[in-house]
Structure 1
Amino acid sequence: MKSRGFTLIELLVAITIMAIVAVLGWRGLDTIIRSRVALNEELEHTRGLQLAFAQMQSDAGHIAKRDDLGRREVLSVQPGRLTLVRMVFTENQPSRAQVIAYRIDAGVLTRRESVATRDLKELDAAWTAALTDKADVPAVALHSGIDEMAIRSWVDRDWRPAGTEGVPGPGGTIIPATGLEVSLQLRARPERLIKIFLLGTA
């Protein structure tokens, strides 16, 4: 019995089917790769924000007390700007104070810290330099893609707008802020990322 091979039409049909299967498989693989890249970018983005908030929480937890610094200001809250004095505790060394400044600069959240000191005149100079953005220490970029940073202060059992770091209390005392709400508006995202920190809890 004479064996019969494939006809040209059968070969073309088989090749066409294989080509279709290959294209479908490639598109599926391409979709998986794109999804993985997007997921990795989102994870990296989220991790960066978590680290920035963790640093901010640490600074807020170690904020200095006004009475310990001769009733000096230790907190300044403005839109896109957060400045505070934190205490630094190093093993086998006395406690020192340093000025921390968070800023939104061209869509980048930055953090700048002064040299830790026990000299109140040096602290005053560092505080003034931070408020006027004339500090000579370099800023560290924490995260990019941020259009706005709004901050509210928790003072005397109520949220207060930026610029309120304390309210008058009885006997001419000042009731200081005990918490901060930091709200970040991320670029190209409708939702805002909000984090609340307690002050002086560390």
Structure 2
Amino acid sequence: MARRARGFTLVELLVALFALALMAVLSWRGLDGMARAQEQTRVRADEVQVLQTGLAQWGADLDALVELPPSNAIDWNGRVLRLTRSAPGTPTDGVVVVGWSRRIDRGVARWMRWQSPPVTTRGQLDEAWRRADAWAQNNAAIPGASEVAVTGLQDWQVFYYRSDAWTNPLSSDQTQSSTTTPAPGAGATTPPAGTRTATVPDGVRIVLLLPPGQAITGELTRDWVRPTVGGGKSS
């Protein structure tokens, strides 16, 4: 007698389809997990790179400080650290005012940098300093200026190194007579004898409190030493 061919029953077919579907779901979840991990790694790497670039820019700004008495070269008022530095390019381009502050950007507190357009006159310099302070108070953007968000920031502190100790810049009025020659193209003249201006500290320390959820969190300390004191080394 001829043997009758035997096929799959409906139950066996349903079981096979269920097994295939389960394997497909598990495979998709594995691939999706790998893609998410790669994306998170890329985001964290970008955050670290941006923070490193921001800290490098911080040091570069301090290294390029320009003293133009009777104006202060650097000042911390508890809200924004402002400084006058040489403008990128040739000496004839003048100087720029830079501000570092904790600001609210799109609802998130961030450590941010602001830079004025190049200035060449005393009036422009004074106006740039006022605008840097206004920017730190979350005022509207100023035409011609640029700002960059570096990293999320819960809080930060600034200390000056003077007289062999780290101190709060707001604790005392550190002044001295200054006869510094203005930088080329700054449009300033040497102040009269006895003019009192705030001295540039031998070092500047910032303590950043980085919020959770970032690539780097917790407290981060960065020290800068004036090149004429420590050979231009920061840590």
**What TM-score do you get using the length of structure 2 for normalisation?**
0.66
- Report the Cα distance in structure 2 between the residues aligned to 1:28 and 1:121, rounded to whole angstroms: 63
- Report the Cα distance in structure 2 between the residues aligned to 1:197 and 1:165, rounded to whole angstroms: 20
Pairing 1:194–2:221 present: yes
Structure 1 residue aligned with 2:96: 98
Q: How does 1:20-169 map to 2 (within 5 A)?
A: 20-65=22-67, 69-70=68-69, 72-88=71-87, 90-91=89-90, 93-94=91-92, 96-106=94-104, 107-131=109-133, 133=135, 136-137=142-143, 138-143=145-150, 145-163=152-170, 167=174
The 1:7/1:155 distance shift into structure 2, 3 A limit, reads same
Deviations 1:131-190 (A, max 9, x none): 455895544132353232322222233222243698578xx9976412222233333455
Equivalent residue pairs, number: 196
The 1:176/1:166 distance shift into structure 2, 3 A limit, reads farther
- Report the Cα distance in structure 2 between the residues aligned to 1:53 and 1:87, rounded to whole angstroms: 18
Kept in 1, the 8 Å contact 2:211–2:218? The answer is: no
Deviating runs (4+, > 6 A) in structure 1? Answer: 172-175
The 1:11/1:114 distance shift into structure 2, 3 A limit, reads closer
Kept in 2, the 8 Å contact 1:80–1:150? The answer is: no
Aligned amino acid, residue 10 of structure 1: E
Kept in 2, the 8 Å contact 1:108–1:144? The answer is: yes
Aligned amino acid, residue 182 of structure 1: I
- Report the Cα distance in structure 1 between the residues aligned to 2:32 and 2:42, rounded to whole angstroms: 15
- Report the Cα distance in structure 2 between the residues aligned to 1:23 and 1:165, rounded to whole angstroms: 67
Kept in 2, the 8 Å contact 1:75–1:165? The answer is: no
- Report the Cα distance in structure 2 between the residues aligned to 1:52 and 1:165, rounded to whole angstroms: 29
Structure 2 residue aligned with 1:182: 206
The 1:89/1:139 distance shift into structure 2, 3 A limit, reads closer
Q: CA RMSD in A?
A: 3.4
Q: Where in structure 1 are there 5+ consecutive unaligned residues?
A: none
- 127-136 or 190-199: bigger deviation: 127-136
Percent same amino acid among aligned pairs?
Answer: 23
Kept in 1, the 8 Å contact 2:212–2:218? The answer is: no
- Report the Cα distance in structure 2 between the residues aligned to 1:198 and 1:166, rounded to whole angstroms: 20
Task: Please report how far the alpha carbon of residue 58 of structure 1 lies from its aligned counterpart in structure 2 after TM superposition.
Answer: 1.4
Q: Secondary structure at the match of 2:17?
A: helix
Q: Where in structure 2 are there 5+ consecutive unaligned residues?
A: 177-193
Kept in 1, the 8 Å contact 2:82–2:132? The answer is: yes
